[in-house]
Chain A
Amino acid sequence: MSYSVFNTKKYIDVVKYRWIWFALSFILLFPGIVAMVISMMQYPTHTPLRVGIDFTGGTIIQYSVEQNIPPEKVTDIRNKLVEQNVDSPVIQVLKPSSSDNENAIKYILSIKTKFAEDNQTDEIDKISGIISSDYPEAQIVQTNSVGPVLGKQLFVNSMIAVTLALLGIVIYLTLRFHFEFAISAFLALFHDVLFVVGVFSILGLTAGVQIDSLFVTAILTVLGFSVHDTIVVFDRIRENLKFYSKKASYDDIVNASVNQTLARSINTSLTTLFTLGALYLFGGVTTRDFVLVMILGIAIGTYSSIFFASTIVALWNDIKKAKKSKSQSEGV
């Protein structure tokens, strides 16, 4: 095999088994897509994800409490709130990661309700009154109110940001590489984002996880990282094409490039996952979902840069070659 040109010992033939990778991608993506469709049918917002107050508008008040609040107590609080005309309250108890610090917050009671257009102060006072009757030690640690106007605007802005980021990346790759690389990278990006969004769609359905504006940031970071990964492989393909295009077949060059960059791809992801893992386990509770998006994104981004993006490039080339030979044979 002409692969020997590249003198590498460990070797995965990514191009040959491409249909296995495509099938694997499908298995990874499918449950998420199903969840998105279910979500769109189920949620009143008709969105593939459970969107939080950042997008829909609303108020979240968080209290620090000393002890855990059991589910029956939560129901009790909810009933009391509804009695006092608090609009559709959603109650959650969060457990921040443990800390040696004595003053650290033990549990967080989070209450979500509609945005009180006119009388924010009274609404918050009313809810605080109800909470402190049961939990006199409860202290407000965070309130967050977003008006519906702003929510809608944020949603539109986020969509524009994601679209522009994708466009910017495709243009940059077209300039620095070839259009086919840009399209392959784009497909890989789409693949990665779809996976992460899918997982959060599932989490939204099963665990009530809501997305906020940080989610969009995290997704954009995943875009950045995924393309970062893909570019490293493409850069190697570009370089190898320059030196070996006469000696080796296109598929071999793609294979060799993937294998040459394999150690780097895995090591980089590992180191980044170390820092993210530490953030997830020991960091604040407020950024946990944000970090989870990045962990998932970086894991899938590494997978896609090895098994997806490069095989698409090879596939693209095969199709191009097939077309060429077809048109040649027709010409004869």
Chain B
Amino acid sequence: MKNKIILFWIIVILAIAAIVTVKCLPTRLGLDLKGGSRILLEAQTTETISKITQDMMDSLKATLDRRINPNGVSEITIQQVEDKRLLIEIPKDSDLKEVRRKLSEIAELEFKKPILDDNDNIVGWESSGLTGKDLNKAEVGTDNAGRWLIHLNFNDQGARKFAKLTREFKGYPIAIYFNGEVMSEPVVQNEITGGLAQITGEFTHEKAKEDVDLLNAGALPVPAKILEENAVSPTLGVDSLHKSFVAGFIGLGFVMLFMIFWYRLPGLIADMALVIYSLLTFAVFKITGVTLTLAGIAGFILSIGMAVDANILIFERTKEELKSGRTLFTAINSGFDRAFTSIFDSNMSTIITCAILYFLGSNIVKGFALTLAIGVIVSMFSAITVTKNFMHLMFGTGQLKHPALFGLKESDINDAYQAAETQREKAKFGVLD
């Protein structure tokens, strides 16, 4: 009995620790509950790039990060998922449209030189070898008339290339291509050696600023395509969260009432264990940093069902044991022992499905599998340790004086004692049935 009391206090301490954890640690909510967007990108192979390497992915990720996050202050996160995919998560207050546009631009800057025929007519354009890679920095500026333009500042290599280009094509136009389109076609007046160039055009300030950001971030090493896009408004998110909570509480309330109605005092004990179970599970969610999504909440609510199931299995078994004439202490113990195999096997099968879901499922499915698995594991602890401990402390030893506490009839127990009595007598006289 002393051990039982020690265990009881351990459970109390655990429950308090769980309350503190739940209070103190922040809840990580998924996009569907707090609002926000998610974009899944996939790097695309092209004619020239037949295989996407990890280096390319790193550089793609870094480039996109510089573009979306030029100042490093926004909360947008980019992470690689699988071999050639990037997942971008955008908090609710960001402009999805703008982000989407920034992602899809390849932002390739290229200076092209004219192809001349014998009569010095321009018949086409070809690559000059000078590209965005040779750029040191781009800036927004204005010309004398106050029109917006972009200053380009080449690095040493770029400056040399640019000098060579302007020397070679003095008096001819060169073309500046950006994203596959001609931005301007200035005629070279003089050889330019300082590594400085300008792009003029009909820029608005925003457009110039955006292009400068893109130029500074650099071109994407490989094109990337949007595979999936999800956006949830904060209104809907808050609405869903609120509703799930209401539903959870109503559901839990019904379950608790049912347990008391059907199992009486043990039912009440199970309800207490259920509250502790919910606290512990939530604490584990917070400690392990589970991101709570709608599907995750559904998983949690389902795990409540399974936690209750463990208690039901145990109580039904204990009732049977009582009916077959055992004393309280042994009835409770053997009720637990005999129910354990079925609790264990059935929960194992749930955990197997969760594991498979976790490794193969999409993001939503993963959240669900994780919360359900955590819930099931915690439920085994709560049913076996918490409920059992409370039962022993509440009922003590000896014979059940008030069968009604278990929802049993007086006659059930008395018959059983009689049956046990006769069996014992039979055994004494060596009569076996």
What are 17 A-B contacts with C-beta separation under 8 Å? A105-B235, A145-B228, A147-B226, A149-B42, A161-B356, A161-B361, A172-B348, A217-B364, A217-B368, A225-B302, A260-B320, A268-B312, A276-B251, A277-B251, A278-B247, A278-B251, A283-B243
**Are the C-beta atoms of B244 and A284 separated by less than 8 Å?**
yes
Q: Judge if B239 is at the interface, Cβ distance under 8 Å.
A: yes
Q: Which residues of B contact A173 (CB under 8 A)?
A: 349
With A142-B232, A165-B353, A227-B346 given, name 11 new contacts (CB 8 A): A97-B243, A125-B97, A145-B226, A150-B227, A172-B348, A228-B350, A267-B262, A267-B316, A275-B255, A278-B251, A286-B240
CA distance A96 to B240 in the complex (A): 10
Given the interface pairs A228-B346, A231-B345, the reply to whether A278 lies near B313 with Cβ below 8 Å is no
Given the interface pairs A141-B235, A224-B349, the reply to whether A165 lies near B294 with Cβ below 8 Å is no
Partner of B228 from A147, A227, A278, A291 at Cβ < 8 Å = A147
Q: Judge if A82 is at the interface, Cβ distance under 8 Å.
A: no
Q: Judge if A328 is at the interface, Cβ distance under 8 Å.
A: no
Given the interface pairs A161-B356, A232-B346, the reply to whether A213 lies near B229 with Cβ below 8 Å is no
> In chain A, what residue has the closest Cβ to B234?
A141
CA distance A105 to B259 in the complex (A): 35
Q: Judge if B236 is at the interface, Cβ distance under 8 Å.
A: yes
> In chain A, what residue has the closest Cβ to B309?
A268
Q: Mark A149-173, 1 if CB is under 8 A from B, else 0.
A: 1100010010011001100110011
* Most chain A beta-carbon neighbours within 10 Å: one of B252, B316, B355: B316
Minimum C-beta distance from A69 to chain B (A): 18
CA distance A120 to B242 in the complex (A): 31
Q: What count of chain A residues pass the 8 Å CB interface test?
A: 76
Partner of A275 from B42, B305, B352 at Cβ < 8 Å = B305
Q: Judge if B100 is at the interface, Cβ distance under 8 Å.
A: yes
Minimum C-beta distance from B94 to chain A (A): 14
Q: Mark B9-43, 1 if CB is under 8 A from A, else 0.
A: 00000000000000000000000100000001010
CA distance A254 to B413 in the complex (A): 26
Partner of A294 from B100, B302, B312 at Cβ < 8 Å = B302
**Are the C-beta atoms of B349 and A227 separated by less than 8 Å?**
yes
Q: Mark B390-413, 1 if CB is under 8 A from A, else 0.
A: 000000000000000000000000
Q: Which residues of A contact B360 (CB under 8 A)?
A: 157, 160-161, 164
**Are the C-beta atoms of A99 and B258 separated by less than 8 Å?**
no
> In chain A, what residue has the closest Cβ to B246?
A282
Q: Judge if B48 is at the interface, Cβ distance under 8 Å.
A: no
Q: Which residues of B contact A216 (CB under 8 A)?
A: 361, 365
What 3 pairs across the A-B complex have the smallest Cβ distances? A272-B305, A275-B251, A278-B251
CA distance A288 to B231 in the complex (A): 19
CA distance A282 to B295 in the complex (A): 15
Q: Judge if A88 is at the interface, Cβ distance under 8 Å.
A: no
Q: Which residues of A contact B355 (CB under 8 A)?
A: 168
Q: Judge if B64 is at the interface, Cβ distance under 8 Å.
A: no
Number of contact residues on B: which range applies? 35 or more
CA distance A121 to B231 in the complex (A): 13
Q: Which residues of B contact A145 (CB under 8 A)?
A: 226, 228-230
Minimum C-beta distance from A150 to chain B (A): 5
**Are the C-beta atoms of B301 and A279 separated by less than 8 Å?**
yes
Q: Which residues of A contact B298 (CB under 8 A)?
A: 279, 287, 290-291, 294
Given the interface pairs A169-B349, A290-B298, A294-B302, the reply to whether A271 lies near B309 with Cβ below 8 Å is yes
**Are the C-beta atoms of B254 and A274 separated by less than 8 Å?**
yes
Q: Which residues of B contact A169 (CB under 8 A)?
A: 349, 352-353
**Are the C-beta atoms of A165 and B357 separated by less than 8 Å?**
yes
CA distance A160 to B243 in the complex (A): 33
Q: Judge if A322 is at the interface, Cβ distance under 8 Å.
A: no
CA distance A141 to B349 in the complex (A): 38
**Are the C-beta atoms of B349 and A275 separated by less than 8 Å?**
no
Q: Which residues of A contact B97 (CB under 8 A)?
A: 121, 125
Minimum C-beta distance from B273 to chain A (A): 14
**Are the C-beta atoms of A275 and B243 separated by less than 8 Å?**
no
Q: Judge if B304 is at the interface, Cβ distance under 8 Å.
A: yes
**Are the C-beta atoms of A221 and B302 separated by less than 8 Å?**
yes
CA distance A169 to B345 in the complex (A): 10
Q: Mark A172-194, 1 if CB is under 8 A from B, else 0.
A: 11001000000000000000000
Q: Which residues of B contact A224 (CB under 8 A)?
A: 349-350, 353-354, 372
**Are the C-beta atoms of B227 and A214 separated by less than 8 Å?**
no
Given the interface pairs A139-B233, A141-B232, A281-B247, the reply to whether A96 lies near B312 with Cβ below 8 Å is no
**CB interface residues, A 47-98, toward B, < 8 Å:** 62, 64, 96-97
Q: Which residues of A contact B346 (CB under 8 A)?
A: 227-229, 231-232, 235
**CB interface residues, A 231-271, toward B, < 8 Å:** 231-232, 235-236, 239, 260-261, 263-264, 267-268, 270-271
* Most chain A beta-carbon neighbours within 10 Å: one of B238, B259, B352: B352
Q: Judge if A7 is at the interface, Cβ distance under 8 Å.
A: yes
Q: Judge if B308 is at the interface, Cβ distance under 8 Å.
A: yes
Minimum C-beta distance from A179 to chain B (A): 16
Partner of B244 from A143, A147, A168, A279 at Cβ < 8 Å = A279
**Are the C-beta atoms of B236 and A141 separated by less than 8 Å?**
yes
Minimum C-beta distance from B296 to chain A (A): 11
Q: Judge if A41 is at the interface, Cβ distance under 8 Å.
A: no
Q: Judge if B101 is at the interface, Cβ distance under 8 Å.
A: yes
Q: Which residues of B contact A260 (CB under 8 A)?
A: 320
Q: Judge if B225 is at the interface, Cβ distance under 8 Å.
A: yes
Q: Judge if A144 is at the interface, Cβ distance under 8 Å.
A: yes
Q: Which residues of A contact B116 (CB under 8 A)?
A: none
Q: Which residues of B contact A143 (CB under 8 A)?
A: 229-231
Q: Which residues of B contact A221 (CB under 8 A)?
A: 299, 302, 353, 368, 372
**Are the C-beta atoms of A147 and B227 separated by less than 8 Å?**
yes
Q: Which residues of B contact A223 (CB under 8 A)?
A: 353
**Are the C-beta atoms of B236 and A64 separated by less than 8 Å?**
yes
**CB interface residues, A 94-111, toward B, < 8 Å:** 96-97, 99, 101, 103-105
**Are the C-beta atoms of A268 and B365 separated by less than 8 Å?**
no
Q: Which residues of A contact B235 (CB under 8 A)?
A: 64, 103, 105, 139, 141
Q: Judge if B341 is at the interface, Cβ distance under 8 Å.
A: yes
Partner of A287 from B226, B246, B294, B309 at Cβ < 8 Å = B294
CA distance A160 to B40 in the complex (A): 22
